[in-house]
Amino acid sequence: MKRDEFLAQPEVEAFIEWLAANLPVLTFKLRFKSSKFVPGGLTVDVQGIEQVLEHYRWKASWRDSHQSAVDSETWM
């Protein structure tokens, strides 16, 4: 099945409409144990995807295209 065919299904269209309407008000329970990726851990209940983005962190490091070290603790 091609992407356009999948997205055109009534069930998929209905889910997308539901998600768009409810994503701002859904409650999310973020529970992450302390680890090298989530220093200090995270335990918080938030409402809406915007608050998820404000709280979620994932520590990572890599080398950029100039071979300089990049350290990050956020996915934003």
Domain locations along the chain = 24-76
30: how many CB neighbours lie within 10 A of its CB?
16
Q: What is the pLDDT of residue 61?
A: 84
- Give the tens place of pLDDT for each residue, 8-60: 999 999 999 999 999 999 999 999 999 988 888 999 999 999 999 888 777 78
pLDDT above 70 (res 75) = no
pLDDT above 60 (res 76) = no
Length of the chain: 76
